[in-house]
């Protein structure tokens, strides 16, 4: 490596690495790629573990929300994957915030630092999102979306995206910090001070389950988890849910929720399912003046009961990713062992087995929730 990059003999860096690249929709190919060189304020991370997110499946199958060179990411040598952790093995010029050998987990987004939203700390809403290329390089990066992601062996990350991983935390658990950070960001946008407030989580996927854990750690009471899969609802109980409701067994889910919160509705609802039914249920089970966080990506336009929201002064917030340094707060909880995020990790695969791992995640084979790839095994 060149360009004033600092390295260590303890961590030899090859010229080439193994990487999956996206060809046609739902078609990945394992190739050799040149190991990238970190620039100013960047480090080279040896990826030790990367988790599969439902958004990865969308990127691989449909392209959006990825924006590669102004278009879809197919056949552009693009590597997806964004929930990864690893070890710092090289420092770019001027880097002194992290040392070679540090274990780190990463945020997805590095904002441009120039636009209005970045200056507010809302770098996941950067106004220069996607303007990464050629004469439009405005500095924003979203690994696995607008720039190369983590289904490979090495990645470049800006120091602003890194969070140190404590020694007691496993690689697999460290990949979950972004997921917990997403829910932390959602609760931050709802107001943050939720101690003693009633909160409902709809959808026991990874974000929903860790949403339960974060909400309980913040003092929400009661925390109610709604879903359709008893095995996941049981995990939700272990992560702190005071009540779990299977919608298949509840003839009227709205009244079932209200009966648990004084018959007036919940103060907060975190909607993690992304369906029209779930979103309208969220509206109807929120009390007057309450707040709803949208933490899922609906695939299609949906109809919602706007008149009911207006009449009842209900607020609705959409979130994208893990803004306002929420991952740092999530890591603090996980470092303190306020909840056991490892309950969400169910399967581990080698890098060469990524297609099988994606199938497990997509089809929920063998009860898969969070599937992790280990690039060096």
Q: What is the pLDDT of residues 196-246, one digit of tens each?
A: 999 999 999 999 999 999 999 999 999 999 999 999 999 999 999 999 999
With tokens 């995020």, the residue in question is 341
> Which of the two residues, 64 and 41, has the higher pLDDT score?
41
The whole-number average pLDDT for the span 353-362 is 98
Q: Is 328 exposed, middle or buried (0-12, 13-18, 19+ CB in 10 A)?
A: middle
Confidence bin at 133 (pLDDT 50/70/90): very low
Single out the residue of 156, 172, 171, 154 nearest to residue 18, CA to CA: 154
Ordered structural domains, the chain, with CATH: 16-108+143-165+340-374 (3.90.180.10), 182-318 (3.40.50.720)
Q: Is 32 exposed, middle or buried (0-12, 13-18, 19+ CB in 10 A)?
A: exposed
pLDDT at position 212 is: 98
Question: In whole angstroms, what separates CA 303 from the centre of its chain?
Answer: 26
pLDDT at position 371 is: 98
pLDDT at position 58 is: 94
Asked if 95 and 41 touch (Cβ cutoff 8 Å), the reply is yes
Q: Which two tokens stand for residue 127?
A: 């106004």
pLDDT at position 121 is: 86
The whole-number average pLDDT for the span 42-67 is 94
Instruction: Tell me the C-alpha to C-alpha distance, in Å, between residue 117 and each of 66, 111, 190.
Output: 20, 9, 18
pLDDT at position 140 is: 82
pLDDT at position 131 is: 66
Percent of the chain with pLDDT over 70: 98
Q: Which two tokens stand for residue 197?
A: 């407030």
Question: Per-residue pLDDT tens for 189-199?
Answer: 888 889 999 99
Interacting residues of 21 by C-beta distance below 8 A, sequence separation 6+? 28, 29, 31, 33, 77, 78, 79
> Which of the two residues, 147 and 22, has the higher pLDDT score?
22
Whether residue 3 has pLDDT greater than 80: no
Average pLDDT of the chain is: 94
Q: Is the peptide bond before 222 cis (omega within 30 degrees of 0)?
A: yes
**What's 36's DSSP letter?**
P
Interacting residues of 327 by C-beta distance below 8 A, sequence separation 6+? 105, 107, 163, 177, 178, 180, 181, 184
CA dihedral sign of residues 350, 171, 202, 248:
positive
pLDDT at position 189 is: 87
pLDDT at position 136 is: 55
> Which of the two residues, 377 and 57, has the higher pLDDT score?
57
Least confident of 128-132, 185-189, 255-259: 128-132
Q: Is 234 helix (H, G, I), strand (E, B) or coil?
A: helix
pLDDT at position 134 is: 47
The whole-number average pLDDT for the span 80-84 is 97
The whole-number average pLDDT for the span 323-339 is 94
Beta strands in 203-302 (DSSP E): 223-227, 243-246, 266-271, 286-294
> Which of the two residues, 38 and 321, has the higher pLDDT score?
38
């Amino acid at each position: 490596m060149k360009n004033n990059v600092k390295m260590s003999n303890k961590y030899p860096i090859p010229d080439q690495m193994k990487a999956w690249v996206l060809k046609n929709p739902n078609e990945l190919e394992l190739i050799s790629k040149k190991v990238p060189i970190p620039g100013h304020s960047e480090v080279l991370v040896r990826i030790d573990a990367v988790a599969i997110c439902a958004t990865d499946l969308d990127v691989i199958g449909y392209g959006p929300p990825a924006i590669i060179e102004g278009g879809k990411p197919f056949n552009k040598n693009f590597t997806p994957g964004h929930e990864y952790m690893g070890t710092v093995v090289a420092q770019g010029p001027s880097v002194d915030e992290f040392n070679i050998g540090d274990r780190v987990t990463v945020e997805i987004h590095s904002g441009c630092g120039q636009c209005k939203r970045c200056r507010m700390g809302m770098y996941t809403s950067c106004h220069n999102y996607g303007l990464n290329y050629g004469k439009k390089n405005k500095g924003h990066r979203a690994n696995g979306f607008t720039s190369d992601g983590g289904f490979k062996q090495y990645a470049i990350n800006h120091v602003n995206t890194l969070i140190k991983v404590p020694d007691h935390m496993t690689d697999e658990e460290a990949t979950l910090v972004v997921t917990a950070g997403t829910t932390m960001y959602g609760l931050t946008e709802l107001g943050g001070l939720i101690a003693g407030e009633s909160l409902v989580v709809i959808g026991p996927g990874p974000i929903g389950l860790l949403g339960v854990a974060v909400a309980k750690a913040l003092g929400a009471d009661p925390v109610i988890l709604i879903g359709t899969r008893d095995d996941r609802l049981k995990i939700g109980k272990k992560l702190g849910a005071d009540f779990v409701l299977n919608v298949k067994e509840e003839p009227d889910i709205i009244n079932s929720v209200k009966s648990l919160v004084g018959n007036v509705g919940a103060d907060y609802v975190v909607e993690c399912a992304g369906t029209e039914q779930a979103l309208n249920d969220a509206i109807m089970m929120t009390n007057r003046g309450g707040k709803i966080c949208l933490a899922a990506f609906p695939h299609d336009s949906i109809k919602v009961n706007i008149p009911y929201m207006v009449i009842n002064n209900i607020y609705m917030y959409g979130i994208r990713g893990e803004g306002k340094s929420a991952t740092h707060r999530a890591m603090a909880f996980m470092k303190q062992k306020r909840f056991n995020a490892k309950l969400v990790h169910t399967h581990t695969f080698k890098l060469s087995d990524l297609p099988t791992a994606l199938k497990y995640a997509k089809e929920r084979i063998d009860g898969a929730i969070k599937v992790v790839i280990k690039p060096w095994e």
